[in-house]
Structure 1
Amino acid sequence: MTIQRRLFLAGAAALACLPMLGSAASAAGTVVVYSAISTKLTQAFVDAFQKANPDISVQVIAGGSGELLTRVKAERNNPLGDVLLGPDADTFDSDLSLFDSYESPESGAFDAAALQPDHKYTGFSTNFQVFIVNTKMMPLSDAPKTWKDLAKPEFKGKILMANPAQSGSAFSQLHQIIDLYGWEVMDPIIDNATFVSSSKLAFQNVAKGEIAVGLTSEFNVLQSKNEGNPVEAVYPEDGTALVVDAVGIIAGGPNPDAAKKFVDFVTSKPAHEMLVELDGRRSARNDVTPPAGLAEVSTIKVVPYNTVSAAKDKDAELARFDETFSQK
């Protein structure tokens, strides 16, 4: 059994045990949201949305991007969800037929790069993938400075990564490294790293001092630091991509009208101000100020990230990852 299959079965069992947020399914109106964002931000969205739309109940199934996409695919012929919220755009691009076209009235506030041309998804947040370093365990001067550094022998056993089959951010890390250096560098990184089942563990375990370095989204470092943990973000000097997270409507979902209302809310300026305040994310909207504490984009070496090609290469890269991982 592959690592992806084992972790999917474990994730599916965990998803089945999660409580639903919002009111009961028998309410007059319902929207079912598959959410890959934090519980705190999800609950804030649910509360604000239901305050503005008291006739619509929100039900939430939370999980990693890979878990949720697998669920949407499995339900293709009988969709149970209405909205997929928060995965990287390449998660959507991997099979656009799973999503309905919908152009929200809020779309004008987003750059074209944050909008799928056929409106299969709309940008949610934008973020960079970085290294989170526990400075009590490893001084910043000794920390890796580039993606290529992660392959050095001195970092064996000191790096934590999420499984790229389960986490959209972890796949974008994998794809960026392969795009820059190929498997010649990725293979020794896999050998050096310890892998966990969720992107949450990839930064939380570093913050708790269980391991020195993790790969994560920049806003997770900011959150951890604001909570008083001895962590700092290192932006790879060889470049990191500005990756778009997105929201889209699941094709054939049971509540299409409520789904459109929820997407309108999630793409609104008030909702994006909430994601900045509560999660420390960069908004994909043009009119929302980035959170204090994140690096200025002008100070970061930015490399391109093509979500369409990433989606195209995903299955092959995950299969190759699984092959290398099984030989650890």
Structure 2
Amino acid sequence: MTPKLGILALTAVLLSGSALAQEGSVVVYNPAGDAGELIIDGFQAKYPGVSVSTINAGVGELFTRMSAEKNNPQGDIILCASSEAFMANPDLFASYESTEIANFSADVIGPDNTYYGCSMPLQAFIVNTNLLAEDEYPTSWEDLSDPRFAGKLVLANPSLSGSAYAQLAQILQLYGWDVAEGIMANARFTTSSQSVFQDVGRGEIEIGVTGEANIGPMVDEGYPVTAVYPSDGTGLRFDASAIIDGARNLDNAKLFLDYANSAEAHELLVSTNRRSVRADIAAPDGLAPTSEIVTFTYDADAAAENRDEALAHWEELFAQ
């Protein structure tokens, strides 16, 4: 083969591989709601030749599904799920060095590049301003256990929601089960984390705990709600995206993860009021700077390691 023919042949192979990576299909498990849908839409606009199927559900449900499908994966990508769930299930994900890896700090990348940080879902209290006067607001996690808030608090079930488990883990790391049990006694629980801020916004209940990204849009839409950051600290934590181990559509899974990690996709996250983990992406307009929010060092490894035991104890208390 002449050098010229060799170059042409190599070019054809490279172009063929590129084309294959931009055709076919990819299945995305999306626990991130509208933010995830924006990323999916952005990917489809950039790669119209790839057919995207989406399964929308909570983190708990999707991780249960992935565990059940471990020997025959039906999904290719999990998008923006809580990091604790990844740490508790390291064998479910494939190692991949993303083309965007240089834009992420090491502390938001999983072992062997198994997952990459997405956003920082700082937790806050959402309060209905029509139902409580400002001097009646809870100001700390410990406050939520005060009997004066009995029947005035809604939380998501931590067995079904990754963010709700993170809330429980933060309470346990700060105070232990005494305060956690007091909060449980005051609360009713929903199966969906979205129901928490929606119920407070509709005036069905006074207080909820949710990601801060859910509160700003409700204020903008005219709902009588406000955000209260706990004075005893909200944990610095993140959610993440990964390729499911054994993904059937591996080339497109890699292509999707690279896009989900890109500055373009993280700007879409910011447009939904989420804080990006990428240092080159500014915080959303209207959100308090992280430096002004009381935080504490959240031990995500401990939260993941203790997850099964904590949830078993929570279920036992809930049953009572």
One fold, TM greater than 0.5? yes
Are the aligned partners of 2:84 and 2:303 in contact in 1 as well (CA < 8 Å)? yes
2:276 corresponds to 1:320: no
The CA deviation string for residues 188-215 of structure 1, in whole angstroms up to 9 with x for no partner, is: 1111101000110011110111000000
The CA deviation string for residues 191-250 of structure 1, in whole angstroms up to 9 with x for no partner, is: 110100011001111011100000000111112111111111111001111210100000
Q: CA RMSD in A?
A: 1.2
**Which residue is equivalent to 2:283?**
290
Which of 154, 157, 162 does residue 160 from structure 1 map onto?
A: 154
Are the aligned partners of 2:121 and 2:274 in contact in 1 as well (CA < 8 Å)? yes
Over the matched positions of the two proteins, sequence identity in percent amounts to 45
CA distance in 1, matches of 2:56, 2:246: 20
Alignment of structure 1 residues 1-328 onto 2, 5 Å: 28-38=23-33, 40-277=34-271, 279-327=272-320
How far did residue 93 of structure 1 move? Answer: 0.6
CA distance in 2, matches of 1:103, 1:28: 21
Are the aligned partners of 1:133 and 1:140 in contact in 2 as well (CA < 8 Å)? no
Deviating more after overlay: 179-188 vs 40-49 = 40-49
How far did residue 307 of structure 1 move? Answer: 1.8
How far did residue 117 of structure 1 move? Answer: 3.2
**Which residue is equivalent to 1:10?**
none
The CA deviation string for residues 29-59 of structure 1, in whole angstroms up to 9 with x for no partner, is: 1110000111x33333233212221221110
Tell me the number of residue pairs that the alignment of Structure 1 and Structure 2 aligns: 299
Are the aligned partners of 1:66 and 1:168 in contact in 2 as well (CA < 8 Å)? yes
The CA deviation string for residues 167-199 of structure 1, in whole angstroms up to 9 with x for no partner, is: 111000000101111111111111110100011
How far did residue 28 of structure 1 move? Answer: 4.9
CA distance in 2, matches of 1:223, 1:270: 21
CA distance in 2, matches of 1:270, 1:289: 12
Are the aligned partners of 1:130 and 1:217 in contact in 2 as well (CA < 8 Å)? yes
Are the aligned partners of 2:84 and 2:300 in contact in 1 as well (CA < 8 Å)? yes
CA distance in 2, matches of 1:113, 1:207: 35
Runs of 4+ in 1 over 6 A off after TM superposition: none
The CA deviation string for residues 236-286 of structure 1, in whole angstroms up to 9 with x for no partner, is: 001111210100000001111100000000110011111111x11001111
DSSP-derived class of the 1:232 partner: strand
CA distance in 2, matches of 1:84, 1:226: 29
CA distance in 2, matches of 1:298, 1:45: 28
How far did residue 302 of structure 1 move? Answer: 1.0
DSSP-derived class of the 1:293 partner: coil
CA distance in 1, matches of 2:84, 2:106: 15
- The one-letter code sitting in structure 2 at the alignment partner of 1:267 is N
Are the aligned partners of 2:153 and 2:207 in contact in 1 as well (CA < 8 Å)? yes
The CA deviation string for residues 67-125 of structure 1, in whole angstroms up to 9 with x for no partner, is: 00000000001001000111111111111110001121112112222111321100000
CA distance in 2, matches of 1:280, 1:109: 20
Larger radius of gyration: 2
Are the aligned partners of 1:138 and 1:212 in contact in 2 as well (CA < 8 Å)? yes
TM-score (norm 2): 0.91
- The one-letter code sitting in structure 2 at the alignment partner of 1:293 is G
DSSP-derived class of the 1:86 partner: strand
**Which residue is equivalent to 2:14?**
none
CA distance in 2, matches of 1:42, 1:320: 32
Unaligned runs of 5+ in 1: 1-26
Deviating more after overlay: 124-133 vs 112-121 = 112-121
- The one-letter code sitting in structure 2 at the alignment partner of 1:300 is I
CA distance in 2, matches of 1:306, 1:151: 22
CA distance in 2, matches of 1:127, 1:41: 12
DSSP-derived class of the 1:100 partner: coil
